[in-house]
A = this chain, B = another copy of it.
Amino acid sequence: MQKKSELQVFREYLQKNRLRYTQEREQIIKEIFATHDHFDVDTLYLTIRQKGIHISKASIYRLLPLLIEADLVQDVFFEDGHMHYEHIYGHEHHCHLRCIECGKIEEFSDPRLKDVERDLEERFGFKILSHKLDVKGLCPDCREKLKKMA
């Protein structure tokens, strides 16, 4: 069975909510899914512009909540004064390990986090919906670099 494309998923989401599938939205989504990289609004905007496509930044801001609601995108972390996002459709759930020196990001997942969730449900009576584990450290290169400096 063929997996649905992100555009199909988004179309269905729109139909369910009586919203419209526009050229602009299609172009933005295509760009978001064109690379695996994380992105922020400004670089996404500039990338689209560079291709000669004219889309206003406000349209990106308006689209993002819909993509998040449709589980196609998630916000990853707030840094440098603005939010960073990534597309998640078709990927396993994962968390992020970031180097505080150079910004390098590794993705990982760990089954123990599900266990933690289960414990929390039991202990606090919450219905758990999501978790986000953000780990910071020094990548191998930066460790080496700092060792030499000291």
What is A's interface to B at a CB cutoff of 8 Å?
A: 78, 83, 97, 99-100, 106, 108, 110, 112-113, 115-117, 119-121, 123-140, 143
Q: In the complex, which of the residues A119, A127, A139 has the most CB atoms of chain B within 10 Å of its own CB atom? A: A127
- For residue A131, which residues in chain B have a CB less than 8 angstroms away from its CB? 133-136
Q: This chain: how many copies in the complex?
A: 2
Q: Say how far A102's CB is from chain B's closest CB, in angstroms.
A: 11
| Contacting pair A115 B116 (CB below 8 A) | no
Q: Smallest distance from the beta carbon of A34 to chain B beta carbons, Å?
A: 27
Chain B residues in 8 Å Cβ range of A135: 116-117, 120, 126, 128, 130-132
Residue of B108, B115, B126 near A137 (CB, 8 A) is: B126
B126 and A138 within 8 A (CB): yes
B124, A97: Cβ atoms closer than 8 Å = yes
Judge whether B120 and A108 touch: CB under 8 Å: yes
Q: Are A143 and B127 in contact (CB under 8 A)?
A: yes
Specify which of A83, A120, A132, A137 lies most central, judged by the most chain B CB atoms within 10 Å of its CB.
Answer: A137
**Are A137's CB and B127's CB within 8 A?**
yes
Shortest distance between the CB of A68 and any CB in chain B (Å): 12
A130 to B135, CA, bound (A): 6
Given the complex, which residues of B lie within 8 Å of A139, measured CB to CB? 124-126
Which chain B positions have C-beta within 8 A of A97?
A: 120, 124, 126, 128
Rounded to whole angstroms, the CA-CA distance of A63 and B125 in the bound complex is 38
Which of chain B's residues have a CB closer than 8 A to the CB of A112?
Answer: 112, 115-116
